[in-house]
Amino acid sequence: MLARENYSFKKYQRELANKKKAEEKRQKKLQKKAIDARLESGQASGENISGENTSSESAPGENVSGDNASVG
Protein backbone atom coordinates (compact mmCIF):
# COMPACT_ATOMS: atom_id res chain seq x y z
CA MET A 1 0.00 0.00 0.00
CA LEU A 2 1.36 3.38 -0.97
CA ALA A 3 1.73 6.17 1.52
CA ARG A 4 -0.87 8.89 1.21
CA GLU A 5 -0.02 12.53 0.75
CA ASN A 6 -0.15 14.56 3.91
CA TYR A 7 -2.10 17.49 2.53
CA SER A 8 -2.61 19.13 5.89
CA PHE A 9 1.18 19.30 6.40
CA LYS A 10 1.69 20.77 2.94
CA LYS A 11 -1.04 23.32 3.61
CA TYR A 12 0.60 24.20 6.94
CA GLN A 13 3.95 24.68 5.20
CA ARG A 14 2.34 26.95 2.58
CA GLU A 15 0.68 28.99 5.32
CA LEU A 16 4.01 29.37 7.15
CA ALA A 17 5.69 30.48 3.92
CA ASN A 18 2.93 33.03 3.29
CA LYS A 19 3.17 34.37 6.85
CA LYS A 20 6.95 34.68 6.55
CA LYS A 21 6.63 36.51 3.24
CA ALA A 22 3.99 38.86 4.66
CA GLU A 23 6.19 39.61 7.69
CA GLU A 24 9.19 40.38 5.46
CA LYS A 25 7.02 42.67 3.36
CA ARG A 26 5.77 44.44 6.49
CA GLN A 27 9.33 44.94 7.76
CA LYS A 28 10.42 46.28 4.38
CA LYS A 29 7.56 48.79 4.38
CA LEU A 30 8.42 49.91 7.92
CA GLN A 31 12.07 50.43 6.96
CA LYS A 32 11.10 52.42 3.88
CA LYS A 33 8.69 54.51 5.95
CA ALA A 34 11.43 55.23 8.52
CA ILE A 35 13.90 56.27 5.82
CA ASP A 36 11.32 58.52 4.17
CA ALA A 37 10.51 60.12 7.53
CA ARG A 38 14.20 60.84 8.14
CA LEU A 39 14.59 62.38 4.70
CA GLU A 40 11.54 64.59 5.15
CA SER A 41 12.59 65.79 8.58
CA GLY A 42 16.01 66.82 7.28
CA GLN A 43 17.97 64.66 9.71
CA ALA A 44 19.66 62.85 6.87
CA SER A 45 20.91 65.98 5.11
CA GLY A 46 24.58 65.41 4.42
CA GLU A 47 24.49 61.86 5.77
CA ASN A 48 24.78 58.77 3.66
CA ILE A 49 21.91 56.51 4.76
CA SER A 50 23.45 53.30 3.47
CA GLY A 51 26.59 53.90 5.53
CA GLU A 52 28.96 53.72 2.60
CA ASN A 53 31.88 56.08 2.27
CA THR A 54 31.27 58.10 -0.88
CA SER A 55 34.07 60.61 -0.49
CA SER A 56 36.51 60.87 -3.37
CA GLU A 57 39.50 61.20 -1.06
CA SER A 58 41.95 58.33 -0.92
CA ALA A 59 44.30 57.23 1.78
CA PRO A 60 47.94 58.29 1.47
CA GLY A 61 49.86 55.91 -0.74
CA GLU A 62 46.69 54.42 -2.18
CA ASN A 63 46.76 53.98 -5.92
CA VAL A 64 43.48 55.42 -7.20
CA SER A 65 43.93 54.68 -10.90
CA GLY A 66 44.50 50.98 -10.37
CA ASP A 67 47.70 50.61 -12.40
CA ASN A 68 50.98 49.91 -10.67
CA ALA A 69 53.11 51.32 -13.50
CA SER A 70 53.02 54.85 -12.07
CA VAL A 71 54.32 53.72 -8.68
CA GLY A 72 58.00 54.34 -8.67
List pLDDT tens digits, range 7-47: 999 999 999 999 999 999 999 999 999 998 888 887 645 55
Chain mean position to CA 52: 13
- CB of 54 within 8 A of CB of 48? yes
Q: Tell me which amino acid residue 2 is.
A: L
The torsion defined by the Cα of 30, 31, 32 and 35, in degrees rounded to 10, comes to: 120
Average pLDDT estimate for 47-57: 54
Q: Cα separation of 58 and 1, whole Å?
A: 72
